């Protein structure tokens, strides 16, 4: 048996980047993966195709996390997808990966961008967890994807860093709250990863080299580097790990 056989995992923002890498890893470990996407249906279905071609099980569903009715839409679409798979409404793993970035420096901030980032990066994961608690199995797993920006100055995107700081705090509170049910709650904090989110910062060989130099391994991370950490945290091997901020930066800024 694989580590996650018989379990259902939800990965938000799984149409590309780190989220896709996490979805692929959890499917490879045997989970039925619910691939959430916000607007890019083609990319969401591509994630499912990749998983299925590798012998895994997955389905895609859509919900715009900044919308006022995001949580209702999310769970209605999830239920429809689970029903098509012959699965019940319960699940075992929730990975809150979906996020928006690009707030800029302090003098560039707008209230519209601030509200959008907090809606997607903070409000959505908090209320997805709240609404899902009666579905999440005892002994389940919640993993919140944060950022190294909460441990190092990141003035280029101050609001983004603030949202991820809120995620770190949420993780601590929920780990204690849900411990009696055997549910673990942890944060994984990537550094620079080769995804669309930071493509502009890797636009030239010189820029890529500068980012790589932050890590002791002198390279930029990959989605698989982060996904493998998540794979451990959602496994039975991580049953005694909760409330933790797990640095997945490749030893950046040591």
Model confidence pLDDT, tens digit, residues 81-107: 999 999 999 999 999 999 999 889 999
Q: 87 versus 196: which is more confidently predicted? A: 87
* Rounded distance between C-alpha atoms, residue 76 and residue 119, angstroms: 19
The verdict on residue 138 lying in a domain is yes
The verdict on residue 226 lying in a domain is yes
> What is the count of structural domains for the chain?
1
The verdict on residue 64 lying in a domain is yes
The verdict on residue 253 lying in a domain is no
Q: Which domain holds residue 170?
A: 8-246
CATH number at residue 185: 3.40.50.720
Evaluate if residue 197 carries a pLDDT over 80.
no
Neighbour-count burial for 104-120, b at 16+ CB within 10 Å, e otherwise: eeeeeeeeebeebbbbb
Model confidence pLDDT, tens digit, residues 20-39: 999 999 999 999 999 999 99
The three-class DSSP label of residue 2 is coil
The verdict on residue 84 lying in a domain is yes
3-state helix, strand, coil in the chain (%, to 5): 50, 20, 35
Residue positions annotated with a catalytic role: 160
* Rounded distance between C-alpha atoms, residue 125 and residue 13, angstroms: 11
Six token digits for residue 20: 């896709």
The verdict on residue 168 lying in a domain is yes
Q: State the pLDDT confidence band at 201, using cuts at 50, 70 and 90.
A: low
The residue-averaged pLDDT of 114-119 equals: 97
The verdict on residue 2 lying in a domain is no
Does this model's pTM top 0.85? My answer is yes
| pLDDT above 90: percentage of residues in the chain | 91
The verdict on residue 99 lying in a domain is yes
- Average pLDDT taken over every residue of the chain: 95
What stretch of H or E contains 134?
Answer: none
> Using alpha carbons only, what angle is made at residue 15 by residues 35 and 200, rounded to the nearest 5 degrees?
155
Residues 34 and 9 sit within 8 Å (Cβ to Cβ): yes
């Amino acid at each position: 048996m694989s580590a996650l056989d018989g379990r259902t995992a939800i990965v938000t923002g799984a149409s590309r980047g780190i989220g896709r890498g996490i979805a692929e890893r959890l499917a490879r470990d045997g989970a039925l993966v619910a691939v959430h996407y916000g607007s890019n249906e083609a990319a969401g279905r591509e994630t499912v195709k990749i998983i299925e071609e590798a012998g895994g099980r997955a389905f895609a569903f859509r919900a715009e996390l900044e919308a006022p009715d995001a949580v209702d839409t999310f769970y209605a679409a999830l239920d429809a997808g689970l029903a098509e798979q012959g699965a019940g409404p319960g699940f075992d793993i929730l990975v809150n990966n979906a996020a928006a970035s690009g707030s800029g420096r302090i003098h560039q901030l707008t209230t519209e961008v601030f509200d959008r980032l907090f809606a997607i990066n903070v409000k959505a994961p908090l209320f997805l967890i709240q609404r899902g608690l009666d579905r999440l199995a005892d002994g389940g797993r919640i993993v919140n994807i944060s950022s190294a920006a909460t441990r190092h100055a990141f003035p280029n995107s101050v609001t983004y860093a603030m949202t991820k700081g809120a995620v770190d705090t949420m993780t601590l509170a929920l780990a204690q709250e849900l411990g009696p049910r055997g549910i673990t709650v942890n944060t994984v904090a990537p550094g620079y990863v080769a995804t669309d989110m930071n493509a502009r910062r890797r636009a030239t060989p010189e820029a890529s080299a500068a980012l790589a130099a932050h890590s002791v391994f002198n390279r930029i991370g990959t989605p698989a580097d982060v996904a493998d950490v998540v794979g451990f945290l959602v496994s039975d091997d991580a049953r005694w790990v909760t409330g933790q901020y797990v640095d997945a930066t490749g030893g950046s800024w040591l």
